[in-house]
Amino acid sequence: MRFLETFGLMAAVISTALVFLKVEYRPRWGHIIPAIALMLCACSVMIEGYRWQMEGAYIVSVLVFVFSAKRLKNLKPDEPVAPVKDRKWLRMSGGIAGLIALAYTGLMCFLFPVFELPAPTGEYPIGTAYYSLTDSTRVDSLSDLPDAHREISLQVWYPAAPEQTGTPVPYMSEEAAAAFGAYLRLPGDDMLSYFSLVSTYSSTEFPLRPTDTAYRVILFSPSGLMNGTTALSEDLASHGYVVIAVGHPYWNPFVYDSTGGVVPFDAMNEHYAAMRRELGSGEVESIKDRILQTDDPAEQNELVRQLTDAQPLNTADIKRWADDISFVIDWLRPMNSPTGFFAGNLSLDHIGVMGFSKGGCAAGQVCVQDNRVKAGINFDGFMYGDVVDSPLTVPFLFMHSTPANDGGWISGGTFANADSTARQIRINGAAHTSFGDACLWGPGLTGAMNGGSIDGDRMIEITRAYTRAFLDRHLKRLADSLLDDPSDGYPEVEVRAK
């Protein structure tokens, strides 16, 4: 809980507990507490921002203050408190109801906290920008509009010039939080409105920092929120990377327009519904279970081939996603011209790609179809598509959670077939939703999404360390032994090297 919220709730609990005492038996300071509780709650709303989890404290503090205001007004120093007509049943029932409401408030604040993103560990401040692109070379066959072309949304994090002043962007705007809540089918439009109270370390007001050593570029393919790995993206940017999250149509809960405004997910889109039905089919689920039950690379490769054939819609979609990423690489060239935003500060010969879940599969797909990509990372995604018959030829990192059955490695076959340097790591205690910021969202959301047992801040620390070690080695040529052997600093992590 935030500072003023914590003390406001504590004061509200004390003032409500005092209701159980008759007026003449209450300590003199007890008549001041309701005013303090109301003042703290009001200051919290004005300074820290309103959120629905605290509504019980807001209401109780107002009611207790109103019922105490007359006594407070007549309270005089050095005079005993005069007894008043006591309505014990009203006092007791009101006190019980108030404490129940405050207990509920405390529970909601615990389950749905205004979480904090871990601070970036690099030396650079961070800027962020939004872009909305149209690929005029690709007709969008999935659109209901005639002659529509593929539209792609971007959020960019980059090293910013030093000594800048600007307002950090919120983790989500209220509009974005409402769109995400609708995507999750949560009750009410404001269920996730408190996400807008979470501050990031990035500002749209910060210009790019010029550099003599060009920045490496990392393209991120999300299988969920475009900003769902903000903690990782900001950390990479603080270490001199430019990170670009690519919003894919017909899948992400929302995407951004060029101003950072929100374009909500089209929940009525039949293409998305058909892909979801395909993913949830008994055949696909059975194949995935069998992949996780074997550690034999040959058997896994055969199962991956079956998985590719069993989900033609999703296989076609990851190829679209890979084409989206390639289009963004095309777009970077004019953006890196002397008159473009990046003004020659990017090294387009050192491009990496990473993705989560389905986006991790797309990362593998783009690595086999676009030779401009020099390294790739898959965060806990099954591999399928062209990697079945086209082994990876660029360095690749597979980062996985612990399977529920403690079976095989998700991408063991693709790892074994790779014609390049490859690493597999498995994080004990991590679940699928542990990758990205979701591990920080609190027990209410993280628990509902079957989050792992590993602490959220620790998960972010591990993900940052191994991601940066891999990218530093293969895009910056910086030596780091973290990827070669088990680390005493990270006993939760198992490493396989090739």
What local confidence, expressed as pLDDT, does residue 24 receive? 62
Task: Tell me which of 76, 111, 146 is where a domain ends.
Answer: 111
What percent of the chain is predicted at pLDDT more than 70? 94
How far is Cα 129 from Cα 380, in angstroms, rounded to an integer? Answer: 27
Q: Considering the domain boundaries, does residue 120 fall inside one?
A: no
Q: What are phi and psi of 296, to 5 degrees?
A: -90, 115
Tell me the per-residue pLDDT of 144-171, one tens digit each, with 9 for 90 and over.
Answer: 788 889 999 999 999 999 877 889 999 9
Close Cβ partners of 177 (under 8 Å, ≥ 6 residues apart): 190, 192, 193, 194, 195, 196
Q: Give which of 498, 245, 452, 461 is closest to 356, Cα–Cα.
A: 245
Q: Are residues 375 and 278 in the same domain?
A: yes
Q: Is the pLDDT of residue 23 over 80?
A: no
pLDDT tens-digit series, residues 273-324: 899 899 999 999 999 999 988 888 899 999 999 999 999 999 999 999 999 9
Predicted TM-score (pTM) of the model is 0.91
Residues 132 and 102 in one domain: no
254, 304: one domain:
yes
Residues contacting 421, CB < 8 A, separation 6+: 395, 396, 474, 498
Residue 27, CB-side half-sphere exposure with 13 Å CA sphere: 7
Rounded to whole angstroms, the Cα distance separating 243 from 237 reads 7
Q: How far from 241 is each of 77, 152, 301, CA to CA, in Å?
A: 65, 21, 34
Range of the domain at 47: 3-111
In a shared domain, residues 45 and 180: no
Residue whose pair of structure tokens reads 């010969």 in the numeric block: 349
Give domain status of residue 460, yes or no.
yes
Contact between residue 328 and residue 198 where contact means Cβ atoms under 8 Å apart:
no
Do the domain assignments include residue 469?
A: yes
List all residues 6 or more positions away from 455 whose beta carbon is below 8 Å from its beta carbon: none
Confidence category of residue 32, pLDDT binned at 50, 70, 90: confident
Domain final position from 80, 111, 142: 111
Same domain, 50 and 189: no
Q: 365 and 493: one domain?
A: yes
Q: Which of 48, 83, 111 is the last residue of a domain?
A: 111
Residue 92 confidence (pLDDT): 85
Geometric angle at alpha carbon 451, from 449 and 454, rounded to 5°: 170
Give me the CATH number covering residue 383. 3.40.50.1820
- Segment 177-229, tens digit of pLDDT: 999 998 888 887 789 999 999 999 999 999 999 998 999 999 999 988 999 99
CA 458 and chain centroid, separation: 15
Same-domain pairing of 166 and 283? yes
315 sits in the region (left: phi over 0; alpha: psi -120 to 50; else beta) called: alpha
Q: What pLDDT digit, counting tens, does each position of 35-61 carry?
A: 899 999 999 999 999 999 999 999 999
Whether pLDDT at 79 is above 60: no
Could you tell me which residues come within 8 angstroms of residue 309 by beta carbon, excluding any fewer than 6 positions away? none
Residues 155 and 13 in one domain: no
Q: Does residue 415 share a domain with residue 295?
A: yes
